[in-house]
Structure 1
Amino acid sequence: MEKAMYQSHGVGYAEYSRNFNKRMQVERDRDLDYRQSLMMVREFDRKLQK
């Protein structure tokens, strides 16, 4: 989990746990990634419906 966290966000879990600002930045990035993936799925589904 530590390695994945560092590769994905450039922050280790220990720093993520200690630093509130880092945690908020990681969570904003996760939310953005999630929303972008939803948009991709919707677009893909829309194209399949045609």
Structure 2
Amino acid sequence: MVFINTLDIQYTNGMEKAMHGAHGVGYETYKQKHEMRMKIEKSREEEYLKSQRLISDLERKIHT
């Protein structure tokens, strides 16, 4: 059984440039390839968590 799982995403030229810059792929690839989406979303989550830890560390330093 084959499942086709694509997303209906509307994006701007700037968003396309940012996607290429950050992840090396365009939105068409992102929309069509589930494994690529999962890899990118995992990377985004890791970057988000890293930034949250950095903010927490800075706030702690400011308030001590």
Query: Is TM (by shorter chain) over 0.5?
Result: yes
| Structure number with higher helix proportion | 1
Structure 1 runs of 4+ aligned residues shifted over 4 Å read none
Q: How many residues are aligned here?
A: 50
The alignment's C-alpha RMSD in Å is: 0.4
Uncovered stretches (5+) of structure 1, i.e. residues with no partner: none
* Higher RCO (CA 8 Å, separation ≥ 6 residues): 2
TM-score normalised over the length of structure 2: 0.77
Q: Counterparts of 1:1-50 in structure 2 under 5 Å?
A: 1-50=15-64
Deviation at 1:22, TM superposition (A): 0.2
Counterpart of 1:28, as a letter, is K
The structure that has the greater radius of gyration is 2
Task: Calculate the TM-score normalised by the size of structure 1.
Answer: 0.97
Q: Which ranges of structure 2 fall in alignment gaps of 5 or more residues? A: 1-14
Percent identical pairs in the alignment equals: 38
